[in-house]
Amino acid sequence: MNIATWLYQTALVRPDAPAIRLGNDLYATYGDFARSAAHIGAFLCDTHGIGHGDRVAIFTRNAPEYLELLYGVLWIGATVVPVNHKLHPKEAAWIIANAEARVVFTESGTLFTGGTGLPPDVRELSIGSVPRDQLTAPINSPAGVSDDDTAWLFYTSGTTGRPKGVMITHRNLRVMAMTYPLDVDQIFPTDHPLYAAPMSHGAGLYNFHYVRIGACHVIPPSQGFDPAEIASLAKSLENITFFAAPTMIKRLIAHAQTVDYNGDGIRTIIYGGGPMYLADIDHALDVFGPRFAQIYGQGECPMTITAMNRDLVADTTHPDATQRRASVGLAQACVEIRIADEDLKDLPTGEVGEVLVCGDTVMAGYWRNPQATSATLVDGWLRTGDLGRLDSDGFLTLTDRSKDVIISGGTNIYPREVEEALLTHPDVYEIAVIGAPHADWGEEVVAFVVVRVGTSPSPETLTDWCKAQIASFKKPSRYIFVPDLPKNSYGKILKTQLRAQLGEQS
């Protein structure tokens, strides 16, 4: 079944319901939205010969047109390739060429003019180039597709090499969307899903269940993440819900405290995509109350490995409430998870190993990359590359990416544990712990620290703080104080850059 069918059906039943807002202003009803999508599909087909399985890329900031284009491409059974708008045009051109996309939508329609490596046969079109004012004809239903057809070609962030195209099928998307109200958060037609993070990633993937239920999507006029704007939209529209990286929540809470905002109008913020430290979520709960849910996923199993709903995140009564809040929650209903050693054999409860996942949301494979696919999908299980442990109730705690583990004197040190300990120090604002090559120990523990304004803790103070909480061998042997940490456009801390920085210094 074509996932775009959900838009078609919602538009038939609730054509006048508000579907898309740009800030407070109504941009489209569900009738308009479906007609635009059908029209874009017909235009791509008639004018550019796009058909079933052909790729169409979108390389723009968040915009109301984004949703119309996404559904327009899906409507005719083609595959959409959303490209992170913060990439350099040359990086985007590499992805567009790798995906062999035939058309790319950009804001201006001329971004790639003049030698940015876009293959000559790719047509660049402006997102405004599809006329919307002729949209009066009755609409045809979306093209039939197989559940296993690729709907969305999702390019990984590629922090360790060239990005890979993850083939996300119509089934993957449907099951992902149907699992959300079971495990992540309830959904209502009165909701206002807001796009504060790039729609090419998790935020965009989260549109489908809201289209199905007929909620109204909100694009912030800043087209990005602006804490003051979110607070203002939440107050005027109410029932705002959005996906945010943990670093975005930190910024939102910091802003809220300066203007005495308590989160009114925000129903739920779903956090994920990177580690949320206990000290940070506890602080966020203090300021905003129980408005947070967590998910753990990756492009290869979009948004659906584990989840922790609002009640679990805010619970203080269970004897394990604190450990649970530091975890990423329980396996979502659509997947099974297990923890395995290097030979992929199951490990006992409580032991740290690689997180493996199997289920209907696991990708079909990497686009035209059988080698990477067979290294990652083994006997039906997805190797996530993340390390973690399960407790006896099924809560998964992530320790680190396997490549981030520090091995010092033959002992494994999980940076996340050191980071959690240091972040509880009142002078520490942000932290990243990595391993650096060391002649005697193999690796030593190095902490990059961003301190709170007006403070200057000494390395000795931080070492004492660490030793009071975790084993002495885990404490950093070096502290590097920095004004900020390098992050990618999704707000993830780039430890590869910190390692490179250390390499240059030594």
Q: Tell me phi and psi for residue 62, to 5 degrees.
A: -60, 135
Can you tell me which residue has the tokens 């959904």? 187
Distance CA 432, CA 487 (A): 11
Q: How far is the CB of 394 from ligand AMP (least distance, A)?
A: 16
Binding-site size for ligand AMP (CB under 6 A) equals: 16
Distance CA 465, CA 269 (A): 32
Distance CA 94, CA 315 (A): 46
Q: Residue 29, interface with ligand AMP (CB under 6 A)? A: no
Nearest CB to ligand AMP, comparing residues 79 and 384: 384
Q: How far is the CB of 328 from ligand AMP (least distance, A)?
A: 5
User: Of the ranges 25-33, 106-114, 292-300, 344-352, which one interacts with ligand AMP (CB under 6 A)?
Assistant: 292-300
Q: Residue 298, interface with ligand AMP (CB under 6 A)? A: yes
CB-CB contact of 211 with 10 (8 Å): yes
386, 419, 430, 444: which one binds ligand AMP (CB under 6 A): 386
Roughly how many angstroms between the first and final C-alpha of the chain, as a whole number?
A: 56
CA distances from 202 to 38, 177, 206, 302, 490 (A): 24, 12, 6, 8, 9
294, 304, 361, 397: which one binds ligand AMP (CB under 6 A): 294
Nearest CB to ligand AMP, comparing residues 30 and 292: 292
328, 337, 357, 428: which one binds ligand AMP (CB under 6 A): 328
Nearest CB to ligand AMP, comparing residues 5 and 298: 298
Can you tell me which residue has the tokens 């790039």? 198
31, 193, 204, 299: which one binds ligand AMP (CB under 6 A): 299
8, 296, 414, 479: which one binds ligand AMP (CB under 6 A): 296
Q: How far is the CB of 295 from ligand AMP (least distance, A)?
A: 6
Q: How far is the CB of 402 from ligand AMP (least distance, A)?
A: 10
Angle at 17 between CA 15 and CA 21, to 5 degrees: 120
Can you tell me which residue has the tokens 């001329």? 110
Q: Residue 384, interface with ligand AMP (CB under 6 A)? A: yes
CB-CB contact of 402 with 386 (8 Å): yes
Nearest CB to ligand AMP, comparing residues 38 and 305: 305
Angle at 432 between CA 431 and CA 434, to 5 degrees: 150
Nearest CB to ligand AMP, comparing residues 60 and 376: 376
How many residues comprise the chain? Answer: 506
Nearest CB to ligand AMP, comparing residues 11 and 396: 396
Q: Which two tokens stand for residue 341?
A: 């050693």
Per CB under 6 A, contacts with ligand AMP among 260-279 are 272-275
Q: Residue 402, interface with ligand AMP (CB under 6 A)? A: no
Q: How far is the CB of 419 from ligand AMP (least distance, A)?
A: 12
Per-residue binder mask for ligand AMP (CB under 6 A), 38-77, x = binder? ----------------------------------------
Nearest CB to ligand AMP, comparing residues 75 and 296: 296
In sequence order, the β-bridge partners of residue 165 are: 155
Nearest CB to ligand AMP, comparing residues 176 and 398: 398
CA dihedral sign of residues 386, 398, 274, 207 = positive
Crossing angle of helices 30-48 and 5-13, in 10° steps, is: 140
Q: How many Cβ atoms are within 10 Å of 319's Cβ, its own excluded?
A: 7
Q: Residue 361, interface with ligand AMP (CB under 6 A)? A: no
Q: Which two tokens stand for residue 168?
A: 């996300």
Per-residue binder mask for ligand AMP (CB under 6 A), 138-167, x = binder? ------------------xx----------
Q: Residue 198, interface with ligand AMP (CB under 6 A)? A: no
Q: Which of 189, 91, 172 has its CA nearest to residue 382?
A: 172
Distance CA 173, CA 152 (A): 9
Q: Which residues, 6+ apart, have CB-to-CB distance to 44 below 8 Å?
A: 50, 56, 72, 73, 76, 78, 103
Q: How far is the CB of 82 from ligand AMP (least distance, A)?
A: 13
Q: Residue 401, interface with ligand AMP (CB under 6 A)? A: yes
Q: How far is the CB of 415 from ligand AMP (least distance, A)?
A: 12
CA distances from 382 to 366, 376, 379 (A): 12, 6, 9
User: Of the ranges 116-124, 185-193, 289-297, 372-380, which one interacts with ligand AMP (CB under 6 A)?
Assistant: 289-297
Q: Whose CB is nearest to ligand AMP?
A: 298
Write out the residues near ligand AMP by the rule CB under 6 A.
156-157, 272-275, 294, 296-299, 328, 384, 386, 398, 401
